Protein backbone atom coordinates (compact mmCIF):
# COMPACT_ATOMS: atom_id res chain seq x y z
CA UNK A 1 0.00 0.00 0.00
CA UNK A 2 1.53 3.30 -1.00
CA UNK A 3 -0.41 5.29 1.61
CA UNK A 4 0.62 3.07 4.55
CA UNK A 5 2.91 5.67 6.25
CA UNK A 6 0.15 8.27 6.01
CA UNK A 7 -2.31 5.88 7.65
CA UNK A 8 0.11 5.13 10.46
CA UNK A 9 0.73 8.81 11.11
CA UNK A 10 -3.00 9.50 11.01
CA UNK A 11 -3.61 6.67 13.48
CA UNK A 12 -0.97 8.05 15.86
CA UNK A 13 -2.49 11.53 15.58
CA UNK A 14 -5.96 10.13 16.27
CA UNK A 15 -4.68 8.30 19.35
CA UNK A 16 -3.08 11.48 20.65
CA UNK A 17 -6.29 13.41 19.96
CA UNK A 18 -8.39 10.91 21.92
CA UNK A 19 -6.10 11.33 24.94
CA UNK A 20 -6.13 7.65 25.83
CA UNK A 21 -4.20 7.03 29.00
CA UNK A 22 -0.96 5.14 28.73
CA UNK A 23 -1.60 1.60 30.03
CA UNK A 24 1.61 1.62 32.07
CA UNK A 25 0.36 4.59 34.10
CA UNK A 26 -3.28 3.62 34.36
CA UNK A 27 -5.37 1.72 36.84
CA UNK A 28 -5.24 -1.34 34.60
CA UNK A 29 -1.55 -1.75 35.33
CA UNK A 30 -2.25 -1.50 39.06
CA UNK A 31 -5.05 -4.07 38.79
CA UNK A 32 -2.74 -6.39 36.86
CA UNK A 33 -0.04 -6.11 39.51
CA UNK A 34 -2.49 -6.62 42.38
CA UNK A 35 -3.90 -9.66 40.58
CA UNK A 36 -0.47 -11.18 40.06
CA UNK A 37 0.40 -10.54 43.71
CA UNK A 38 -2.89 -12.13 44.80
CA UNK A 39 -2.13 -15.17 42.68
CA UNK A 40 1.29 -15.57 44.30
CA UNK A 41 -0.07 -14.99 47.82
CA UNK A 42 -2.83 -17.55 47.24
CA UNK A 43 -0.33 -20.19 46.16
CA UNK A 44 1.89 -19.40 49.14
CA UNK A 45 -1.09 -19.72 51.49
CA UNK A 46 -1.83 -23.12 49.98
CA UNK A 47 1.74 -24.28 50.55
CA UNK A 48 1.61 -22.95 54.12
CA UNK A 49 -1.68 -24.78 54.74
CA UNK A 50 -0.16 -28.00 53.44
CA UNK A 51 2.83 -27.73 55.77
CA UNK A 52 0.49 -26.81 58.63
CA UNK A 53 -1.69 -29.87 58.10
CA UNK A 54 1.29 -32.15 57.49
CA UNK A 55 2.85 -31.13 60.79
CA UNK A 56 -0.35 -31.68 62.76
CA UNK A 57 -0.52 -34.77 64.88
CA UNK A 58 -3.43 -37.17 64.50
CA UNK A 59 -5.02 -36.02 67.76
CA UNK A 60 -4.94 -32.29 66.91
CA UNK A 61 -8.13 -31.92 64.85
CA UNK A 62 -8.33 -28.16 65.49
CA UNK A 63 -5.00 -27.58 63.78
CA UNK A 64 -6.10 -29.65 60.79
CA UNK A 65 -9.32 -27.65 60.49
CA UNK A 66 -7.28 -24.45 60.68
CA UNK A 67 -5.14 -25.75 57.83
CA UNK A 68 -8.28 -26.43 55.76
CA UNK A 69 -9.52 -22.88 56.38
CA UNK A 70 -6.14 -21.39 55.41
CA UNK A 71 -6.10 -23.55 52.27
CA UNK A 72 -9.58 -22.38 51.28
CA UNK A 73 -8.58 -18.77 51.84
CA UNK A 74 -5.51 -19.37 49.69
CA UNK A 75 -7.59 -20.85 46.86
CA UNK A 76 -10.01 -17.92 47.07
CA UNK A 77 -7.21 -15.36 46.95
CA UNK A 78 -5.58 -17.17 44.02
CA UNK A 79 -8.83 -17.28 42.03
CA UNK A 80 -9.59 -13.61 42.73
CA UNK A 81 -6.01 -12.65 41.86
CA UNK A 82 -6.11 -14.51 38.58
CA UNK A 83 -9.43 -12.87 37.68
CA UNK A 84 -7.99 -9.42 38.41
CA UNK A 85 -4.88 -10.21 36.40
CA UNK A 86 -6.88 -11.31 33.37
CA UNK A 87 -9.16 -8.28 33.66
CA UNK A 88 -6.27 -5.84 33.79
CA UNK A 89 -4.35 -7.48 30.97
CA UNK A 90 -7.34 -7.77 28.66
CA UNK A 91 -8.71 -4.29 29.26
CA UNK A 92 -5.58 -2.52 28.02
CA UNK A 93 -5.40 -4.81 24.99
CA UNK A 94 -9.07 -4.42 24.16
CA UNK A 95 -8.93 -0.64 24.54
CA UNK A 96 -6.19 -0.41 21.92
CA UNK A 97 -7.98 -2.91 19.69
CA UNK A 98 -11.21 -0.92 19.84
CA UNK A 99 -9.50 2.33 18.86
CA UNK A 100 -7.72 0.56 16.02
CA UNK A 101 -10.97 -1.00 14.82
CA UNK A 102 -12.79 2.34 14.89
CA UNK A 103 -9.99 3.95 12.90
CA UNK A 104 -10.03 1.18 10.30
CA UNK A 105 -13.81 1.39 9.93
CA UNK A 106 -13.67 5.13 9.49
CA UNK A 107 -10.99 4.77 6.83
CA UNK A 108 -13.06 2.12 5.06
CA UNK A 109 -16.14 4.36 5.17
CA UNK A 110 -14.11 7.21 3.69
CA UNK A 111 -12.93 4.93 0.86
CA UNK A 112 -16.47 3.76 0.10
CA UNK A 113 -17.85 7.28 0.09
CA UNK A 114 -15.06 8.52 -2.16
CA UNK A 115 -15.68 5.64 -4.60
CA UNK A 116 -19.36 6.51 -4.71
CA UNK A 117 -18.48 10.13 -5.44
CA UNK A 118 -20.31 11.50 -2.43
CA UNK A 119 -19.29 13.44 0.61
CA UNK A 120 -19.52 12.47 4.23
CA UNK A 121 -22.30 14.04 6.30
CA UNK A 122 -20.92 16.89 8.34
CA UNK A 123 -17.86 17.29 6.11
CA UNK A 124 -16.85 20.78 5.03
CA UNK A 125 -18.08 21.23 1.49
CA UNK A 126 -17.35 24.92 1.25
CA UNK A 127 -13.85 26.10 0.50
CA UNK A 128 -14.49 29.67 1.59
Confidence of residue 122 (pLDDT cuts 50, 70, 90): low
CA within 13 Å, CB half, 62: 0
Q: Which residue has the higher pLDDT, 11 or 2?
A: 11
The per-residue pLDDT for 47 is 93
Tell me which residue of 11, 68, 74, 14 sits closest to 41, measured CA to CA.
74
Reported pTM: 0.61
* DSSP symbol at 25: G
Can you give the residue ranges of every domain in the chain?
Answer: 23-89
b/e map 13-45, b = 16+ CB within 10 Å: eeeeeeeeeebeebebbebbeebbebbeebeeb
Amino acid sequence: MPDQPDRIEQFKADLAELKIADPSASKDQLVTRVGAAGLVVGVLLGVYAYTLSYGASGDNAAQQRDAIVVALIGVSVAVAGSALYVKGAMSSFLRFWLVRDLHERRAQTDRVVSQLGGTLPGADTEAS
